[in-house]
Amino acid sequence: MSEKHPPRKLALFGVALDPTDDEMKLEFKTILARDLAAGRLRFRNPYEALTGALRDQIATGRCATCGEVEIPSWLTPAPNPSDLPLVTAQNNLRFVDEGGCREVAERVRAFLESGPTRGIPAMVGVDHSTTGGALRALAREYGSSNMAVLVMDSHFDGLGFAERIELFCYGQGEEPEGSRVDPLDLLSEGGTEGVDLRDAYNCATWLKHMLDEEVVAPDRLIVFGVSDYPTEAMRKDPRLVRYAGAYRAFEEAGVRFVTKEEIRQKGVPGSLEPLLNKMDADYLYVSLDADIGSLDAVHAARFMNVVGLNHEELYEIARVIDDALEEKELIGLDVCGIETFLLGRRFPNGSTDRTLEGLSDFIRLLLGHDEKYSHRDPRESGDPLAQCAEGFPPARE
């Protein structure tokens, strides 16, 4: 264990909010609900899964389990079977449209402000919007101007609806104005009657709200590993005026963006160390969206439309943060964007998801310890992750 700093202790808590209008993910929920009814469910949410993978840290007192923020069953990854009639795209969209994600973020804030936690608060979640509640609680305690925020995410969740529509139309080779695409149709394959998400607080916009509401100071924010950063050609394209302009405005306000291309050119230490060392703040909050490693270190992320970082790059991030904490105090952590259904699955091509290995080892390294699973077969006898290596179940009939 590192002797550079006093031992850190994490207070793990779960937030299983999982609103989705994606038909495949709704199918995942149905399968997990049936597994729950049949008594063969491995775990109901990422909190149960990750605390299992970290049971060695819990046994030694380096991590404490502090329970879960209450979420209605139908909005979780594994609903109660009796709630399956509620699990529809329309109901999920209405939940977001009516401010449900913001309400749950407020529950997270209240959870953290309700009393002392047994260590550094560390949220294990699904929907990244819940991070806003943690940041709001910590900003009240430590002050936004003295709180550096490191967000590791393949997507910048600080853009609005109009900017995202521009990017979608650009990718489809269409003009944003007069396009045959109805913007609301992009949000769901189901019906959208009475739903308008243009100003909604959700997993794609939560960081925009945090910046707009001054919960996070732009010159204290690092967004690391983005894949949707506009290229020079995109910045000059008239079809992306809003999109490129939004990015430019955030940069001018002080937000630091680091793309995956820059990480691969400079390496993790070269691209992250200087930013953390120069950040004029005494406190640090770390937020990791699982899609930072999508299709490489992570095969159980909610969004996997780009190739992310590998296990060693993920571990390098933790080591760099650990070094930076010689000068800064870690005040909070979250790991979000995890797709429960895919955790530990063995896929038809013979590969096995290693998300739990990667995320639990990331936390071990952040605590100043060695990784446990990085060089081991997850099916090795006695390994607590072995139970996860099972076949990919068939689709529902």
How high is the pLDDT of residue 351?
Answer: 85
How high is the pLDDT of residue 7?
Answer: 80
How high is the pLDDT of residue 387?
Answer: 47
Separation between Cα atoms, residue 267 and residue 283, nearest integer Å: 24
Positions of the chain with pLDDT under 50 = 1-3, 176-191, 377-384, 386-387, 389, 391-397
CB 361 within 8 Å of CB 374: yes
CA separation, residue 135 to residues 68, 253, 394 (Å): 17, 19, 40
Separation between Cα atoms, residue 32 and residue 19, nearest integer Å: 15
CB 89 within 8 Å of CB 50: no
Residue 261, SS3? helix
Tokens 């402000």, residue located? 113
pTM of the shown model: 0.90
Which of 270, 361, 271, 354 has its CA nearest to residue 315? 361
Separation between Cα atoms, residue 159 and residue 373, nearest integer Å: 36
Separation between Cα atoms, residue 70 and residue 300, nearest integer Å: 23
Residue 101, SS3? helix
How high is the pLDDT of residue 174?
Answer: 57
Separation between Cα atoms, residue 104 and residue 86, nearest integer Å: 18
CATH level 2 (architecture), domain 10-391: 3-Layer(aba) Sandwich (3.40)
How high is the pLDDT of residue 1?
Answer: 37
- CA 149 to chain CA centroid, nearest Å: 14
How high is the pLDDT of residue 182?
Answer: 46
Tokens at 34, concatenated = 């049936």
Contacts of 24 (CB under 8 A, 6+ apart): none
CB 124 within 8 Å of CB 335: yes
